[in-house]
């Protein structure tokens, strides 16, 4: 087990982050520091931290051997789906006495109660009564970025008042940092929406690319030159965050759709071939409303309906036996209805089955669980558990925008209290937001 923990240090470099610091402390024999760092990560649902604490307790590193503590942590690591925890749990449990097993169960319950991040939960609900845009100004591409061929994106959130004016803007996520944010803020502040009877909190993602989009070869070169994959696999949170951002960027711009199958093993090396453009097919039928993932034969005949979300007005009970027209270049396709120039039509895009390790979201989650604050803030947009966690850490940015949403939901007093706390931490957008509610 010690060798397994040591292997996680391979390729780690000068990146300051909790998991990396914990692994380095362990390798240097500073077991007290490693134990403390791992323990701080366990409440974030970090299966590796739980597993490592179990291994250290079993091996008596920095402590006397403690089978109860080892078993409790292996139980939690198994629950959090660490791949080796179940086998070690069975092995170590056989060595323990009944009193030790009883104590292990008590410790396990205590560890469970301390979890802040458990399994992914439903995303924060959206405002279903959104105002429609009446004016959108395209951001100017920064001259330095054009000159250097830099591409990227910025995900923004902003507050729209009753008159349809954008009154506060902030960055949720950006790649690369300090490149496109100012241009995005300047543009969004000039946007206008239809007037309504209340304020709205909105989000938008602005993509920046030159000559038809992000070049896959450029992304692949960046990953290889900076060894992003190696460092991410080694457990370096900053590299995990950057890798997740790059994969998300090319995922969004790809014409393919992806099925990140949890049953597949994590890829040992990146597979950029999944982003190669494959032909979109045209359904030789109509009357289908919704979306579906289907398996297709070489002649375009649908042989299996893998999954489907069907609207009430759908006229077809099953798609099996129907045909897709065009060059078949994949085994599975996602069929969905889109609007092109105001005309509704069905299209079938290749649905590529691949490892979770090719998902940007997977690496963002890893970076967040490993203590990277930027990744944790990104995850707020997808999982309210991270919002609750960062609120408990008194994160000014999260306090400000959570307070804004609470005010819009009618919790004025609680929301204003969060805004005041964010202002006290010198978070500038909080002052702008507060003025809108005075």
Residue 193: which CATH number? 3.30.2420.10
Of 69-73, 154-158, 173-177, 178-182, the least confident: 173-177
Question: How high is the pLDDT of residue 339?
Answer: 65
| Parallel, antiparallel or unpaired: strands 257-260 and 343-354 | parallel
- Pull the structure tokens for residue 129: 């009564």
Question: How high is the pLDDT of residue 207?
Answer: 79
Q: How many CB atoms lie within 10 A of CB 384?
A: 16
Question: How high is the pLDDT of residue 254?
Answer: 81
Across-strand partners of 282?
A: 325
Note whether residue 184 is domain-resident: yes
Q: Give the residue from 208, 232, 259 where a domain finishes.
A: 208
Average the pLDDT over 430-434 and give the result.
89
Average the pLDDT over 66-90 and give the result.
94
- Residues 180-215: tens digit of each pLDDT: 999 999 999 999 988 888 888 888 888 787 665 667
Binning the chain into helix, strand and coil, the percentages to the nearest 5 are: 45, 20, 35
| Nearest-5° Cα angle at 120, 392 to 19 | 60
What does pTM read for this prediction?
A: 0.76
Indicate the number of domains in the chain.
4
Range of the domain at 315: 280-354
Question: How high is the pLDDT of residue 5?
Answer: 40
Q: Give the residue from 354, 382, 401 where a domain finishes.
A: 354
Residues 6+ apart with CB under 8 A from 17: 236, 237, 238, 370, 371, 372
Answer whether 275's CB lies under 8 Å from 255's CB. Answer: no
Note whether residue 393 is domain-resident: yes
Residue 34: which CATH number? 1.25.40.10
Q: Give the residue from 354, 380, 397 where a domain finishes.
A: 354
Note whether residue 230 is domain-resident: no
Cα–Cα distance list, 432 to 52, 159, 380, 394, 400 (Å): 45, 10, 21, 19, 10
Establish whether the linkage from the previous residue to 81 is cis, with ω within 30° of 0.
no
| Parallel, antiparallel or unpaired: strands 166-175 and 152-160 | antiparallel
User: Does 7 lie in the same domain as 106?
Assistant: yes
């Amino acid at each position: 087990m010690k060798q397994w923990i040591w292997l996680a240090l391979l390729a780690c470099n000068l990146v300051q982050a909790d998991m990396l610091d914990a692994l380095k402390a362990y390798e240097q024999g500073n077991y007290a520091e490693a134990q403390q760092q791992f323990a701080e990560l366990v409440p974030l649902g970090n299966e590796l931290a739980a597993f490592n604490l179990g291994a250290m307790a079993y091996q008596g590193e920095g402590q006397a051997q403690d089978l109860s503590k080892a078993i409790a942590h292996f139980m939690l690591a198994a629950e959090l789906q660490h791949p080796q925890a179940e086998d070690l749990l069975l092995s170590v449990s056989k060595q323990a006495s009944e009193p030790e097993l009883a104590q292990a169960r008590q410790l396990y319950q205590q560890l469970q109660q301390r979890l802040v991040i458990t399994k992914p939960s439903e995303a924060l609900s959206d405002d279903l009564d959104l105002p429609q845009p009446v004016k959108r100004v395209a951001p100017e591409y920064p001259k330095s970025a054009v000159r250097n061929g830099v591409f990227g994106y910025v995900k923004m959130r902003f507050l729209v008042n009753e008159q349809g004016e954008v009154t506060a803007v902030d960055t949720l996520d950006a790649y690369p940092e300090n490149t496109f944010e100012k241009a995005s803020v300047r543009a969004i502040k000039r946007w206008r929406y239809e007037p309504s009877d209340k304020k709205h909190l909105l989000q938008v993602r602005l993509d920046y690319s030159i000559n038809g989009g992000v070049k896959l070869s450029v992304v692949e070169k960046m990953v290889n030159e900076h060894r992003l994959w190696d460092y991410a696999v080694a457990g370096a949170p900053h590299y995990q965050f950057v890798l997740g951002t790059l994969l998300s960027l090319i995922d969004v711009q790809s014409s393919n759709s992806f099925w990140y199958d949890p049953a597949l093993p994590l890829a040992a090396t990146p597979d950029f071939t999944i982003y190669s453009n494959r032909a979109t097919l045209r359904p030789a039928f109509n009357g289908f409303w919704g979306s579906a993932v289907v398996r297709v034969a070489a002649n375009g005949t649908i042989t299996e309906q893998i999954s489907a979300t069907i609207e009430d007005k759908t006229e077809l009970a099953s798609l099996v036996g129907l045909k897709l027209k065009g060059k078949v270049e994949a085994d599975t396709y996602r069929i969905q209805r889109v609007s092109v120039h105001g005309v509704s039509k069905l299209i079938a895009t290749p649905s590529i089955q691949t490892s979770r390790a090719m998902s940007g979201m997977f690496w963002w989650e890893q970076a967040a669980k490993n203590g990277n604050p930027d990744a944790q803030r990104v995850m707020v947009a997808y999982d309210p558990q991270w919002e609750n966690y960062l609120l408990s850490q008194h994160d000014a940015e999260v306090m400000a925008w959570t307070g804004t949403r609470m005010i819009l939901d009618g919790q004025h007093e609680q929301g204003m209290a969060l805004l005041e706390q964010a202002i006290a931490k010198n978070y500038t957008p909080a002052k702008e937001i507060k003025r809108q509610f005075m």
